[in-house]
Amino acid sequence: MTASSPIATTVKTTCPYCGVGCGVLATPQADGSVTIAGDPDHPANFGRLCSKGAALGETLSLDSRLLHPEIDGKRVSWDEALDLVASTFSRVIAEHGPEAVAFYGSGQLLTEDYYVANKLMKGFIGASNIDTNSRLCMASSVAGHKRAFGADTVPGNYEDIELADLVVLVGSNLAWCHPVIYQRLAAAKALRPEMRIVLVDPRRTMTADISDLHLPLGADGDSALFVGLLRALHEAGKVDARFVADHTQDFTGALDIAEDWTVDRVAEATGVAVADIAKFYDWFGATEKVVTIFSQGVNQSASGTDKVNAIINCHLATGRIGRPGLGPFSITGQPNAMGGREVGGLANMLAAHMDFDPVAVDRVGRFWGSNNVATQPGLKAVDLFRAVRSGQIKALWIMATNPVDSMPEADEVREALRTCPFVVVSEMNADTDTVREAHVRLPAAGWGEKDGTVTNSERRITRQRPFLSLPGDAQPDWWIVSQIAQRMGFGAAFSYTGPGEIFAEHAALSAFENDGRRDFNLAGLIGANYETLPPVQWPVREHGTARMFGDGRFFGPNRKSRFVAIIPPPPLAPPPGQLTLNTGRVRDHWHTMTRTGKSSRLGAHIAEPFAEIHPKDATRLGIKRATLVRLENRHGSATVRALITDRQRPGAVFVPMHWTDRFSSNGRVDALVTAKADPFSGQPALKMADIIAAPARVVRYGFAVSRSEIVPGDASYWASARTPDGFRTELAWDEAGDWEARARALFGVPAGTAMLTLRDERSGRMSFALFDGTHLRFALYLSPDPVLVSRQWAVNLLGLPVADVTTRSRVLAGRPGADVPDPGPIVCACHSVGMKTILKAIEGGCSTVEAVGAATKAGTNCGSCRAEIRPLLAKLQPAG
């Protein structure tokens, strides 16, 4: 076999998206494309993939990649860039001390990258100002675990979710945010219909689809719900007195406070009906095998750590932890949030699950061969960027993340970067809202090029393996960090030649002087074959560990766990006239869309930012269906589409976190989030900002499909997404004008070129289009109301050559004639199946999700859309 052999080689790797950590089989093809499939042998997914994972092959193109180092926007050599970064950091440290520099990393970094960055900051620079976007994701779970267990340990595994008789989902929209876990849960429930699922969420998300009970509680009502549950369990005699006595402490303190939390009081505090709360408490009490899954709805709160402990308290009280089919379960949002925790890549950890006690500092110093190890925690994300803004931090290095969009008070963060004397960004993308603010841009390797390990939500370490060569000058993050460390004079400690060497050191540190009091221990992986390392759950002494705490031995004093006395916060209600802003993810997008934004399949489901608003609020505020709404508070503003739905709770709006200035005019919702953080974890409350909402001023709405990206010009709103043959863009203008001239400007059409036009001056509806031969270059539809256009039909036009004049001019109609089928908006991203196709199948007699799948292929690949097909069936079929 030669290097140019066309024989495809399949590489086992791990998905770069959420914390489920699915195994992926990547097979590069002779034509340069890469075939993606789920790894049937990987214990996280057993071959399943969600819509995002399945579309990974569409995200690997080199367009919009950062391929060369840049200083002030000019291409330079690695030497120039590295020298400048190293010398500037060294100079700032010399002049202002080690606290004057900071790193801000990411849950997308591999464990090896993370390890090296943490080692440089805490071991050699000698300060702890390294924090990451994991602070925004699961810091409260870390803090809650440490308070309860004495260590940041996730007790169970995914199999427990399938084995449980009751699964409680708290602040977790599994169907969209962790679709493969949702699929595993749905499949288990299909096999055992007696299995119960309770959804605790202010919104009736798509996950409600498989839930037996939905508790639509108000923002931050979770603590009250679980403190009340502790009381109810005690009242019902469900407390495992023996477990509590032998393996816990401080139960009485927690129970004393809980005594006041009757069901009535919980109902008052959460806004949930008494009967529903009582039902939930009964189910929980009566069911031994309970798994409580919690995610960002719990973590992203000013009382997130307390919520975590309120949940864990109930599992400790009943002794339901560490055994098959039960336990509290934090599901993380990022592919390697867990790996970051393991290496200590957060400002309040030192390394390898060790804190800043003098013994640990000394031990780590000896292991690293440094006498300059940081002795105290550094600044957590919110405070870190405030310190940048105040000038305390003078040199900042951001790795693989986009805080200008994802941090709360994001406009302040942007301002902080603009005032910071020296900002370095190592990134795979050439243009993000954060990259735009960087002085030095360092091209980093991306998924498919990187080589290392990640850890998923069930403590499972899996290799992420390369199957593509490094493009341009791109280098892995560990290499970049090591190069800087060497140039800062720490060469001996950073002479790594590959990630295997780093992993071995990481494993060795975890085992170094580990007497079993430290949960994180990879002793069994020291000297393991890194290249062939199979997925394994830590701790690994001789072999991996499926569950922790089954023996009742925790990591607190006397190997006990601890109850935390939780005082539920008063119910959070927005000031009169305002709404509570909830933020989160959608099914087919990921973070700030730097990767998912490249996929046309993933852009088809939801292609613009939106606000879910309850019909009552919409009526009161005069917000009409599918119009644009302006959200505003003292921190900033956003303009998004109004999605009026009773899935939303009155008084609250939900806006996805994904849209940035790259994809929309004003969709950075984190600009409106108040940077208020949990006192224990420092995790900001990303789901609880007060805002006002009002109809946006619009004189014309527009929708366009085009082969090239548009030039939005004076549009007051735009949101753009990729399609298979170009782009789709929603538009709006708040001032009247010369529409033909605007059309020409949007698509760069010179004045002499005749466009196809349709004008109905009186109604204000207009269409413009242009063909290059038989291929549509663009079509633009304008209307005073939200433009009625079959989006999917228009998107498809870009790929269909048109020869006859009738079909040409019909492009202006914005929808197919009765003689052409309209697929409707895309529901199934994997097979591009539209809503109308699905409805037609249901009308044609398909009565189950499976039958719809057999007829249309919808929902037969990743299954993420099955939760959306089921309501369509219910709507069309009269209840029988």
Partner 1 sequence: MAEKLVIIGNGMAPGRALEKLFELVPGQFDVTIFNAEPRVNYDRIMLSPVLAGEKSFDDIVIHGDAWYIKHGIMLYKGCKVTAIDRETKTVTAVNGITASYDRLIIATGSVPFIIPVPGKDLAGVLTYRDLDDVNAMMIAARAGGRAVVIGGGLLGLEAAAGLKEQGMDVTVIHVMPWLMERQLDAAGGTYLADALRSRGINVMTSANTKQILGDKRVSGLELADGTIVPADIVVMAVGIRPNAGLAKEAGIIVNRGIVTDATMITSDPSIYALGECAEVDGQVFGLVAPLYDQAGILARQLAGDVEARFAPVATATRLKVTGINVYSAGDFATGDDREDIVLSDESAGVYKRVVLRDDKVIGTVLYGETTDGPWFFDLMKDGRAANDLRDTLIFGESFEDVAELDAYGGRCSIAG
**Binding status of residue 841 toward partner 1 by CB under 8 A:** no
Of 76 and 607, the one with the shorter C-beta distance to partner 1 is: 607
| Closest distance to partner 1 from the beta carbon of 720 (Å) | 10
Tokens matching residue 840: 């037609």
For residue 670, give the DSSP letter: G
**Binding status of residue 870 toward partner 1 by CB under 8 A:** no
**Binding status of residue 805 toward partner 1 by CB under 8 A:** yes
**Binding status of residue 824 toward partner 1 by CB under 8 A:** yes
**Binding status of residue 695 toward partner 1 by CB under 8 A:** no
State the Cα–Cα distance between residues 418 and 401, nearest whole angstrom: 17
Of 117 and 719, the one with the shorter C-beta distance to partner 1 is: 719
**Cβ distance 95 to 335 under 8 Å?**
no
Phi and psi at residue 703, in whole multiples of 5°? -140, 140
**Cβ distance 642 to 610 under 8 Å?**
yes
**Binding status of residue 724 toward partner 1 by CB under 8 A:** no
List binders of partner 1 among 771-790 (CB under 8 A): 771, 785-790
State the Cα–Cα distance between residues 183 and 186, nearest whole angstrom: 5
Q: 90, 486, 578, 809: which one contacts partner 1 (CB under 8 A)?
A: 809
Span of 14-22, 163-171, 492-500, 599-607 interacting with partner 1 by CB under 8 A = 599-607
**Binding status of residue 608 toward partner 1 by CB under 8 A:** yes
**For residue 156, what are the CA distances in angstroms to 55, 144, 204, 325, 847?**
30, 16, 27, 8, 37
Of 256 and 760, the one with the shorter C-beta distance to partner 1 is: 760
**Binding status of residue 167 toward partner 1 by CB under 8 A:** no
**Binding status of residue 813 toward partner 1 by CB under 8 A:** yes
**Binding status of residue 606 toward partner 1 by CB under 8 A:** yes
Q: Which residue has the tokens 């292609």?
A: 607
State the Cα–Cα distance between residues 271 and 175, nearest whole angstrom: 24
**Binding status of residue 150 toward partner 1 by CB under 8 A:** no
Q: 626, 692, 745, 855: which one contacts partner 1 (CB under 8 A)?
A: 626
**Binding status of residue 736 toward partner 1 by CB under 8 A:** no
State the Cα–Cα distance between residues 797 and 169, nearest whole angstrom: 42
| Closest distance to partner 1 from the beta carbon of 737 (Å) | 19
Q: 137, 219, 423, 719: which one contacts partner 1 (CB under 8 A)?
A: 719
**Cβ distance 561 to 149 under 8 Å?**
yes
**Binding status of residue 610 toward partner 1 by CB under 8 A:** yes
State the Cα–Cα distance between residues 642 and 613, nearest whole angstrom: 7
**Binding status of residue 822 toward partner 1 by CB under 8 A:** yes
CA 714 to chain centroid: 32
CA 16 to chain centroid: 11
**For residue 1, what are the CA distances in angstroms to 6, 107, 179, 799?**
9, 38, 39, 39
Span of 32-40, 418-426, 567-575, 805-813 interacting with partner 1 by CB under 8 A = 805-813
Span of 361-369, 398-406, 684-692, 800-808 interacting with partner 1 by CB under 8 A = 800-808
| Closest distance to partner 1 from the beta carbon of 60 (Å) | 24
Span of 270-278, 347-355, 463-471, 607-615 interacting with partner 1 by CB under 8 A = 607-615
| Closest distance to partner 1 from the beta carbon of 104 (Å) | 32
Peptide bond preceding 43: is omega within 30 degrees of 0, i.e. cis?
no
**Binding status of residue 797 toward partner 1 by CB under 8 A:** no
Phi-psi region of 59 (alpha: psi -120 to 50; beta: other; left: phi over 0): alpha
Tokens matching residue 321: 């932890």
**Binding status of residue 55 toward partner 1 by CB under 8 A:** no
**Binding status of residue 699 toward partner 1 by CB under 8 A:** no
Of 737 and 817, the one with the shorter C-beta distance to partner 1 is: 817
| Closest distance to partner 1 from the beta carbon of 697 (Å) | 17
Give the total of residues touching partner 1 (CB under 8 A): 55
**Cβ distance 512 to 505 under 8 Å?**
no
Adjacent-strand bridge partners of 642: 611
Span of 173-181, 355-363, 602-610, 690-698 interacting with partner 1 by CB under 8 A = 602-610
**For residue 66, what are the CA distances in angstroms to 76, 451, 597, 720, 836?**
12, 19, 16, 21, 40
User: CB under 8 Å to 359, separation ≥6 — which residues?
Assistant: none
Binding track, positions 755-774, relative to partner 1; x by CB under 8 A:
-xxxxxxxx-x-----x---
**Binding status of residue 625 toward partner 1 by CB under 8 A:** yes
Of 78 and 771, the one with the shorter C-beta distance to partner 1 is: 771
Span of 39-47, 151-159, 420-428, 806-814 interacting with partner 1 by CB under 8 A = 806-814
Tokens matching residue 353: 């699950």
**Binding status of residue 810 toward partner 1 by CB under 8 A:** yes
| Closest distance to partner 1 from the beta carbon of 413 (Å) | 28
**Binding status of residue 619 toward partner 1 by CB under 8 A:** no
**Binding status of residue 721 toward partner 1 by CB under 8 A:** yes
Of 18 and 789, the one with the shorter C-beta distance to partner 1 is: 789
**For residue 816, what are the CA distances in angstroms to 289, 533, 800?**
53, 54, 13
State the Cα–Cα distance between residues 705 and 728, nearest whole angstrom: 4
Q: 631, 643, 782, 852: which one contacts partner 1 (CB under 8 A)?
A: 643
The Cβ of residue 647 has, within 10 Å, a number of other Cβ atoms equal to 16
User: CB under 8 Å to 800, separation ≥6 — which residues?
Assistant: 776
| Closest distance to partner 1 from the beta carbon of 410 (Å) | 23
**Binding status of residue 641 toward partner 1 by CB under 8 A:** yes
**Binding status of residue 835 toward partner 1 by CB under 8 A:** yes
Q: 395, 826, 849, 858: which one contacts partner 1 (CB under 8 A)?
A: 826
Adjacent-strand bridge partners of 461: 455, 536
Tokens matching residue 191: 């096999």
Query: Which spans in 290-433 are helix H?
Result: 296-299, 304-317, 337-343, 358-368, 381-390, 403-406, 410-419
Q: Which residue has the tokens 């214990």?
A: 43
**Binding status of residue 752 toward partner 1 by CB under 8 A:** no
Q: Which residue has the tokens 């766990």?
A: 561
**Cβ distance 212 to 169 under 8 Å?**
no
**Binding status of residue 459 toward partner 1 by CB under 8 A:** no
| Closest distance to partner 1 from the beta carbon of 51 (Å) | 12
**Site residues, partner 1 (CB under 8 A):** 604-608, 610, 625-626, 641, 643, 645, 703, 719, 721, 728, 730, 754, 756-763, 765, 771, 785-792, 805-806, 808-810, 812-813, 815-819, 822, 824-827, 835-836, 868
